[in-house]
Amino acid sequence: MLELWGISKSYGDHKGASGVSLFAPSGSRTVIVGPSGSGKTTLLRLIAGFEAPDAGTITLNGRQLEGIPPHRRNIAYVAQEGALFPHMSVGDNVGFGIPRQATDRSRRVEELLEQVGLPAEFRNRRPHELSGGQQQRVALARALAQRPDLMLLDEPFSALDTGLRETMRTMVGDVLRDAGIASILVTHDQAEALAFADHLVVMRDGRVADAGPPQRLYARPADIETARFLGEAIVLASVIHGGVAKTALGDVPVLQDDAERADVLVRPEQITVAAEGNGALGRVLHRSYRGAQWRLEIECRDGGLPEPFSVDVPASLDLRPGDPVRLSVNSEAYVFPR
Amino acid sequence: MAVSADLAAAEATKVRRAAGRISHPVILGAATLTGLLSLLPLGFVVYIATTSGWGTIADLVFRPKVGGLLVNTLTLMALVLPLSAVLAVALAWLVERTDLPFAQLWSWLVIAPLALPAFVHSYAWNAFMPRFHGLGAAVLVSILAYLPFLYLPVAAQLRRLDPALEETAQSMGKRPAVVFFLVVLPQLRLAIMGGALLIGLHLLAEYGLFVLTRFDTFATAIVDQFQSAYSGPSANLLGGVLVLLCLGLLGLETGLRGTERYARVGAGAARRRGRLSLGKWRLLALLLPLIFAALSLAVPVLTLARWLWSGGAVIWRFDFIMPALGQTAMLALAGAILTTLAAVPMAWLSVRAPGRVQKILEASHSYVGALPGVIIALALVTITVQVALPLYQTVATLIFAYVLMFLPRALVGLRTSIAQAPVELERAAASLGRPPIAAIWQTTVRLAAPGAMASAALVALGITTELTGTLMLAPNGTRTLAMRFWSYTSELDFASAAPYALLMIVLSIPLVIMLHMQSDRVEQA
């Protein structure tokens, strides 16, 4: 269990982190996500010990980390592009953290390579002979070699192609689970965060905006900005009466006491789009073809929605720009706390 | 000087890319011509070796005198190179990676000794401590004069290293000192070897420094022989041995360098790194740059100031100084322009149409830079005397020698700036109807002009302080700044030499500024 209590760190005028408290349960996959400059990398560097916090404490499995230099923390760190040592072979890279005296050194290097899906022959290659994905695999094997208490991953997939990114994510997740190592991954990509995390922390301006299981954060975020950060969000001003919110998109069921003013969150997948029928009247602004669906951009000015929003509809629904549409919300919506 | 060359060469290689197989006969022809002309000195040495006959070679080369020179040269290398490497790494690490006070100032002061020609360094030490000479003096003054050649590439490489490498190593349980030796030092290897090679070549070529420290090397012996017997076989054969040493050094460096690739793996910008806190060692660490600056700058500058002061107004003989300045400026200007023009075709080829022919041409261009000025001078004297007597001891021959000596310097600077001009512009100009040469001239050459100016300036500065070749080749009546300085110093008239030393230093200051800026640019790249 990693615990951060009231961590603050500033660089001159820039606040990297201010009063951050967060918890990463043992064996969990924690993801810290946020836009660039939100302080997520700062947190990672503080945990690794590359920098010291101005205030606050960090403990790992009950051990206070203050004053302990990085090389005595047993926390592995995988940098953005792997940071393989260019002057060493793959085998020497992987074996870097294994004591020189260890008799099973060479066997362990091979095992580790196999674990990350690389053939044992790769041990004689040089880092520059590997592709980006292979470099990341070696970096992971190298980090696993030290049998760390915690694995820190600093945007490890951001340099990879989209397709490869997903494969690598799955592989890393599986390897870490099998090895039983808790991990903290930092990313600015919300899709990656949702896919990897079983504990998600959203950072903004050096603070924790929200933290918890990813499903909860997506469906019931703490505030509007978090909602928008994690996916397309339609926020409707409404009046709530008797478990029903009166919104621009019609009546929407909510679990909330009566209120004169409330902000209701609707995700695009909750919206039913029809060519006719009843429901709020909208207009198609633009459409783009996605194969299985059309992505429509719809405005609903009459209903009082200032911004157009995007929603996917089946490819069979042939709505053209300018066509009127009927909109309704098909499931229970979430009301932001005031 | 050539350090910038090394750094820039690395840059150029990075940017270089194959530009298809377009043939440009005119450019190729021009590059081939310069390439062949560059090979003249080497051809001369081969000619001497093959025509001298075994008996002469055995008589003149295998004798105790040559053995002594060999021992001297090797001892000098064995002491100067390792000491300089350790000192340069220590200084660069302190300046670039720690919270050493006034780091920015030191980064200037450590390379500032380059503003003093090596023979001015030894002049200052000679005047400062007249009885300090021999091996000790030669080693000390060489280190002081040439350390920037190692410091610059090492510091640049330290700045370029990805901090994530060290952090990762640390997170894997290695103490900072261990990380330095396992991760940082191996990646400085190429920079250290490049710098050491450069210093080694300078040690082989330098004449003035070793005359004043009374330490005999091949270069001093050759000039001595030459002055007593002009292009006698003795000087020529010593020259042959010197060329072998140069080639040996180049071969050694190439062999040690191997095919390793230490480039940063992966793209993307490296993050700014923090500086290591020295804590209680902070003031103690300050001693190292302080002592170096005291020996390499304070001693020469104060000595010079003392002579200028004690000499008073009498030593400022403007009737001598002004002509010397004028002649130096004319030679430097003409040499710089010709050298830069001669380098353009080769530089363009190596960026736009790299290939095997280009590689061979480039090698012949740059090997001359490794040959000491004394060899180039010997070769040109012999060739003009035997083949083209009217050219013997003319300004034309002298300038041609400068072109040969400084061609590599111009080449590297030009190559970098040409590499920064996108090839698409040439193609756009061609598609708009310009014939090939015009297209290149109006796009790439125009864009590379600032870089070409800079490298021409470097060449001009090099010519301004060139001594050996000038002494051997200058026509009667020529008196450059370096020659005036040298003749006064040889007569131990330190005071009269002082104004010339001052002028050469002032003229060399732009060199230091350019090199410092260049190493900053490397950091941003």
pLDDT tens, position by position, A323-332: 999 988 889 9
| pLDDT score at B292 | 95
Please give the biggest Cα pair distance in chain A. Answer: 77
Instruction: Nearest chain B residue to A143 by CA: give it.
Output: B172
Min mean pLDDT across A38-47, A94-103, B272-281, B372-381 is at B272-281
**Residue A44 C-alpha, separation from nearest chain B C-alpha, in angstroms:** 12
Confidence band, pLDDT 50/70/90 cuts, at residue B51: confident
Q: Which A-chain residues 217-276 have CB contacts (< 8 A) with chain B?
A: none
Judged by CB atoms closer than 8 Å, whether chains meet at B267 and A142 is answered as: no
| pLDDT score at B295 | 94
Any chain A CB within 8 A of the CB of B67? no
| pLDDT score at B2 | 41
| pLDDT score at B23 | 56
Confidence band, pLDDT 50/70/90 cuts, at residue A210: very high
| pLDDT score at B390 | 81
3-state SS, residue A194: helix
Confidence band, pLDDT 50/70/90 cuts, at residue B420: confident
3-state SS, residue A6: strand
Instruction: Nearest chain A residue to B163 by CA: give it.
Output: A83
Does B243 have pLDDT greater than 60?
yes
**Which residue carries 């991954």 as its tokens?**
A185
Judging contacts by C-beta atoms under 8 Å, the chain A residues touching residue B258 are none
| pLDDT score at B8 | 44
| pLDDT score at B39 | 83
CA distances for B229 relative to A127, A183, B61, B214, B223, angstroms: 58, 79, 17, 21, 10
pLDDT tens, position by position, A241-288: 988 988 888 888 898 888 888 899 999 999 999 888 888 888 999 999
pLDDT tens, position by position, B4-28: 444 444 444 444 433 334 557 778 8
Asked whether the beta carbons of B194 and B181 are under 8 A apart, the reply is no
Confidence band, pLDDT 50/70/90 cuts, at residue A5: very high
Q: Would you mind telling me the total number of residues written for chain A in this entry? A: 338
Output the CA torsion B319→B320→B323→B328 (10° steps). Answer: -160
Judging contacts by C-beta atoms under 8 Å, the chain A residues touching residue B162 are 83
CB neighbours of residue B17 within 10 Å: 11
Does B226 have pLDDT greater than 80?
yes
Instruction: Nearest chain B residue to A153 by CA: give it.
Output: B168
**Residue A161 C-alpha, separation from nearest chain B C-alpha, in angstroms:** 13
Judged by CB atoms closer than 8 Å, whether chains meet at B183 and A126 is answered as: no
| ipTM of the complex as predicted | 0.76
pLDDT tens, position by position, A91-113: 999 998 888 888 888 899 999 99
Judged by CB atoms closer than 8 Å, whether chains meet at B176 and A74 is answered as: no
Judged by CB atoms closer than 8 Å, whether chains meet at A76 and B172 is answered as: yes
Any chain A CB within 8 A of the CB of B171? yes
Q: Tell me how many residue pairs between chain A and chain B have CB atoms under 8 A apart.
A: 89
Confidence band, pLDDT 50/70/90 cuts, at residue A53: very high
More confident residue, B1 or A334: A334
Any chain A CB within 8 A of the CB of B274? yes
Any chain A CB within 8 A of the CB of B264? yes
Report phi then psi at A198, rounded to 5: -110, -5
Distance between CA atoms of residues B140 and A90, nearest Å: 43
| pLDDT score at B144 | 95
Q: What is the DSSP string of B493-524?
A: -HHHHHHHHHHHHHHHHHHHHHHHHHHHHHHH
Interface test with A, best of B14, B171, B180, B264 (most A CBs within 10 A): B171
Q: Which residues lie across from A334 on neighbouring strands?
A: A265
Distance between CA atoms of residues B165 and B182, nearest Å: 11
Q: What integer best gives the mean pLDDT of chain B? A: 83
B266 → closest Cβ in A74, A77, A132 = A132
3-state SS, residue B479: coil
**Residue A116 C-alpha, separation from nearest chain B C-alpha, in angstroms:** 18
Distance between CA atoms of residues B221 and B234, nearest Å: 10
Confidence band, pLDDT 50/70/90 cuts, at residue B258: low
Judging contacts by C-beta atoms under 8 Å, the chain A residues touching residue B186 are 87
Task: State the average pLDDT over residues B64-75.
Answer: 91
Report phi then psi at B515, rounded to 5: -65, -40
The dihedral through the CA atoms of B16, B19, B23, B27 has a sign that is negative
Min mean pLDDT across A79-93, B207-221, B257-271, B337-351 is at B257-271
Q: Which A-chain residues 137-196 have CB contacts (< 8 A) with chain B?
A: 139, 142-143, 145-146, 152, 159
Cα radius of gyration rounded to whole Å, chain A: 24
Any chain B CB within 8 A of the CB of A76? yes
Task: State the average pLDDT over residues A40-49.
Answer: 90
| pLDDT score at A150 | 92
Cβ burial, residue B391 (10 Å; 0-12/13-18/19+): middle
| pLDDT score at B75 | 95
Any chain B CB within 8 A of the CB of A81? yes
pLDDT tens, position by position, B469-482: 888 888 888 888 89
A96 → closest Cβ in B172, B187, B267 = B172
pTM value? 0.80
| pLDDT score at A219 | 93
Does B262 have pLDDT greater than 60?
no
pLDDT tens, position by position, A153-203: 998 888 788 888 888 889 888 888 888 889 999 999 999 999 999 999 999
Task: State the average pLDDT over residues B119-140.
Answer: 90
CB burial readout B255-269, b (16+ within 10 A) else e = eeeeeeebebbbeee
Task: Tell me which residue of A56, A62, A26 sits closest to A42, measured CA to CA.
Answer: A56
Does A74 have pLDDT greater than 70?
yes
> Which residues 6+ apart lie within 8 Å of B362 measured at CB?
B346, B349, B350, B411
Any chain A CB within 8 A of the CB of B270? no
| pLDDT score at A160 | 81
Min mean pLDDT across A170-179, B10-19, B180-189, B317-326 is at B10-19
Judged by CB atoms closer than 8 Å, whether chains meet at A87 and B262 is answered as: yes
Domains in chain B: ranges and CATH:
19-258+288-524 (1.10.3720.10)
Judged by CB atoms closer than 8 Å, whether chains meet at B167 and A142 is answered as: no
3-state SS, residue B525: coil
Judged by CB atoms closer than 8 Å, whether chains meet at A73 and B171 is answered as: yes
Distance between CA atoms of residues B59 and B135, nearest Å: 27
Does A60 have pLDDT greater than 80?
yes
